[in-house]
Amino acid sequence: MGMLLRRYHKVDGRMPSPDETTVEEKKNADVLWVGHNEEPSIRNLFKKKFQDEHPMDIVEVINDCHMYQCGARDKDGKLKYPFVLCDLDGIVKINGVTGILECKTCNIGSEDYRIWKSGKVPLKYYLQCCYYMLCMNLPYAYICVKWGISPQECAYMYIERNLEVEEMIIDM
């Protein structure tokens, strides 16, 4: 992630001049970099917490960070949704059933932090997981968020596949 991506100016569609490029872009790139580098520890935290809370279940966490394209095909054999791609953080198998594992980091005090702490998934991340389940044709996802360094500063939530939400995403 060596090069920063620049956003188009929202009003006139032009590229910003170098003096208009904000520190925010660098900050966002740094946050993405940190989040990506935390993924292995978040996968490990998820496995530990899940096994501690569900000792009778067999859980396997797979480091699968590949890019996938939705393989659903129409009656003519053509891809139905060639634009549906996902870049996984991991795969989880619980008692032999495969699902998505999405890893997130969060700053304490942010709006997302308050949502996570209330036991809910912020909408943007819920929709991301729905999109990934569509792409991978998998029945569930777990999303795991870390906001500190101890296992207590981490939470995970289960998301079941919802075909109606997937249809809305495709329509959008």
Which residues of the chain register pLDDT less than 50? Answer: 1-13, 21, 23
| Amino acid 151: pLDDT | 85
In sequence order, what E strands does the chain have? 59-62, 67-69, 85-87, 90-94, 97-105, 140-146, 154-160
How many whole angstroms separate alpha carbon 62 and alpha carbon 101?
A: 9
Sorted by sequence, the CB contacts under 8 Å of residue 16 that are 6+ apart come out as 6, 7, 9
Has this prediction a pTM greater than 0.85? no
- What confidence score (pLDDT) does residue 5 get? 34
Position of tokens 């053509």? 78
Q: Identify the pLDDT of residue 32.
A: 72
Orientation of helix 123-136 relative to helix 163-171, angle to 10°: 100
- Of residues 52, 38, 42, the one with CA closest to residue 155: 42
pLDDT at 169: 95
* Chain segment 5-44, per-residue pLDDT in tens: 333 334 444 555 555 545 455 557 776 777 677 899 999 9
- What distance in Å separates the CA atoms of residue 69 and residue 92, rounded to the nearest whole number? 19
pLDDT the model gives residue 91: 97
Measuring CA to CA, how many Å separate 96 from each of 44, 46, 59?
Answer: 18, 17, 8
